[in-house]
Amino acid sequence: LLGNPRTHHIVHVNPTQPVNRKEPEAVRITVYNYNEKECTKEVFSEIESVCPFHNNDRITWINIDGLRKSDVEKVAAHYGIHALIVEDILSLQQRPKMDEVDDILYCLLNMLYYNGEGGCVEHEQVSIVLGKNFVITFQEDPDRDVFNDIRAKLQQAHSKLRQRGADFLAYTMLDLIVDNYFLVMEKLGERIENIEEVIVHSRSQHSMSTLNNLRKELIVLKRNLAPVRDMISNIMRSESPLLEERTTKYFKDVHDHILQAYDLSENYRDILISMQDLNMNNLNLRMNEVMKVMAIVTCLMAPATVIGGIFGMNFDIIPTAHNQWGFYTAVGLMLIIPVAMLIVFKKRGWF
């Protein structure tokens, strides 16, 4: 239940020692070079190919799938990215953060995916480097394509994306990632609903560990949301020349979304906790109900046993022993006493 897929939540890799990670054998580099009129797309596998795109009058988006130390360092050297940012790009399991060094604005955050099979939330670290007229993005996993939606929009000449600058491209990326959080939360919400159904109706004991797992998923989710919220509010307050005035309101919009996501996660957490209480109380009450019935039944039998014992004693002189109705009287007592007890118990509301 609490097996392998979630272990990466607990043992975090030391963020300053990225060496343990196996480097990917191949990286895929996609370069979009566009302005209002034109948009070219090129795919490379050699990092050196991205250098010519620097300092042209179009906007360049370089997306690098797969993190190889030498590659990142080469790009950084060419595009003037500080060594500390390179370190952050390469080390995984980082806390989302935002950095402004020299003329570069750097955002690190996690794309979240809901893994339906394992029932857990997975994340992929995404680095977004915004410079003058360029955006460079770094992704961990070459197989997953975080920015698919953006690609489609870039092809449309009349889209807002094509008409605005590099900061709008960066905004679109953040917006995409934050919107994706809602998809993940929707899945978690559905699971919470299903469990609620189970708790209220069938009261299985499994629900306890499922609730516990969900609570852990929410912890992970919330720990991702809070720093992203801070990150975006930092971007809004930043007076970087890279951010145009007219893009500000878009960042405010993302900020509203992340606030809402955070609120929602708090909501889920509160609901989960009150469901855990309800579940535990349900299980306890049900168990106690059984114990009570057993105790009552056992208790009702006891007087009959005693009466049986009384007339089973081997004394020579037992009153009514030779009486014709003796046996029936005794058995009658055995019935009357428990029934009387039952009536008393019932009256006191004991069952």
Considering only residues 126 through 165, tell me which ones interact with a copy of itself, judged by CB under 8 A. none
Which of 189, 233, 234, 238 is the binder for a copy of itself (CB under 8 A)? 189
Q: Are 189 and 272 in contact (CB under 8 A)?
A: no
Whole-number Å distance between alpha carbons of 181 and 318: 84
Give the type of residue at 130: L
- Measured in Å, how far apart are the chain's first and last C-alpha atoms? 38
Tell me the angle at which helices 248-311 and 206-237 cross, rounded to the nearest 10 degrees: 160
- Classified as helix, coil or strand, 102 is coil
Q: How many CB atoms lie within 10 A of CB 266?
A: 13
- In single-letter form, the type of residue at position 211 comes to L
Quick one: which of 215, 236, 238, 342 contacts a copy of itself (CB under 8 A)?
A: 215
Toward a copy of itself, which CB reaches closer, 240 or 323? Answer: 323
Of residues 158, 156, 160, the one with CA closest to residue 175:
160
Give, in degrees to the nearest 5, the angle at Cα 183 between 177 and 185. Answer: 105
Q: How far apart are CA 150 and CA 168, in angstroms?
A: 11
How far does Cα 86 stand from its chain's mean position? 28
Q: How far is the CB of 194 from a copy of itself (least distance, A)?
A: 10
7-66 residues in contact with a copy of itself (CB under 8 A) are 7, 9-12, 14-17
DSSP of 78-97:
HHT--HHHHHHHHS-SPPPE
Taking CB under 8 A as the criterion, which residues in 302-331 touch a copy of itself?
302-324, 326-327, 330-331
Point out which span in 70-78, 121-129, 219-227, 237-245 binds a copy of itself (CB under 8 A). 219-227
For the record, the structure tokens of 283 come out as 């299980």
Among positions 69-108, residues that touch a copy of itself (CB under 8 A) are: 82, 84, 87-88, 94-95, 97, 99, 101
Selected from 23, 182, 198, 342, the binder of a copy of itself by CB under 8 A is 182
Minimal distance, residue 177 CB to a copy of itself, in Å:
12
Supply the minimum distance, in Å, between the C-beta of residue 33 and a copy of itself: 27
| Cα four-point dihedral sign 59, 65, 67, 68 | negative
Residues 230-249 that bind a copy of itself (CB under 8 A): 249
Interface with a copy of itself (CB under 8 A), residue from 39, 89, 185, 231:
185
Stretch that binds a copy of itself, among 2-10, 31-39, 53-61, 120-128 (CB under 8 A): 2-10
Among 55, 115, 156, 281, binds a copy of itself (CB under 8 A): 281
Task: Determine if 285 is a binding residue for a copy of itself (CB under 8 A).
Answer: yes
For the segment 248-277, give every residue that binds a copy of itself (CB under 8 A). Answer: 249-250, 252-253, 256-257, 259-260, 263-264, 266-268, 270-271, 274-277
Phi, psi of 106 (to 5 degrees): -115, 130
Nearer to a copy of itself, 27 or 243 (CB): 243
Give least dist CB 148 to a copy of itself, A. Answer: 15
190 is an interface residue for a copy of itself by CB under 8 A = yes
